[in-house]
Amino acid sequence: MSTTSQSIGGLAVTTKLAMKMEDSLQAFAVRAACFIGELDVPYSEEFDGHDFGATHIIAYVGDEPVGAVRVRWFKSFAMPERLAVIQRFRGNGVAQLLLERCRKLAETRGAEKLYVQVLPQDAKHWEKQGWRRLEAEDAGSSPKQVVAMIRAVDPSKPLPEADDAPESVVLRRDQQADGSVVPMRSASR
């Protein structure tokens, strides 16, 4: 567990990578409370099939899980998503602590960029945290409007140019395959 000098109510705020099923379930519980419970996000949208191929980082106040972020890995970038902090702990820097742990992890894995998709009303907050907006070619294909943002993993390096945006990232839902269909571009038929 990573301990910081940060505390809430006299209890240390720590972060931890989910290494066991129990850890993953804690991350899922935080996300469910925030997205399904507070925002009425449908279960099928919140838990979309990428969870067991991703890295989860959990924030704790004392022994209580209070925040989580899911990180997906691509060739040259990491994609933090599903950032959630339990309502009563918001405003205490927990989200920034999770994103900083994500940045450090991405740096150790050789990622050059972090890429996120945020709600339009949150974009200015992310810009204040050092993120830059990317222009989306086809934002109309997304069921919900989002703003794509990027930042360099190494804070001493300049932000990537908009032309250097990850080519494989698009603002659309991933194809859902349930095994009853062969995904497009499959190597086997």
180 or 130, which is more confident: 130
Assess whether pLDDT exceeds 70 at residue 182.
Answer: no
- pTM score of the predicted model: 0.80
186 has a pLDDT exceeding 70: no
Per residue in 136-154, pLDDT (tens digit) is 555 455 556 889 999 999 8
Name the band, by pLDDT with cuts 50, 70 and 90, for residue 160: low
Per-residue pLDDT tens digits for 61-72: 999 999 999 999
Whether the pLDDT of residue 167 is over 60: the answer is: no
pLDDT at 109: 93
Q: Which CATH number is associated with domain 1-111?
A: 3.40.630.30
SS3 of the chain = CEEEEEEECCEEEEEEECCCHHHHHHHHHHHHHHHHHHCCCCHHHHCCCCHHHCEEEEEEECCEEEEEEEEEECCCEEEEEEEEECHHHCCCCHHHHHHHHHHHHHHHCCCCEEEEEECHHHHHHHHHCCCEECCCCCHHHCCCCCEEEEEECCCCCCCCCHHHCCCCCCCCCCCCCCCCCCCCCCCCC
Q: Please report, for the chain, the start and end positions of each structural domain, with discontinuous segments joined by +.
A: 1-111, 112-164
Q: pLDDT class for 92, splitting at 50, 70, 90?
A: very high
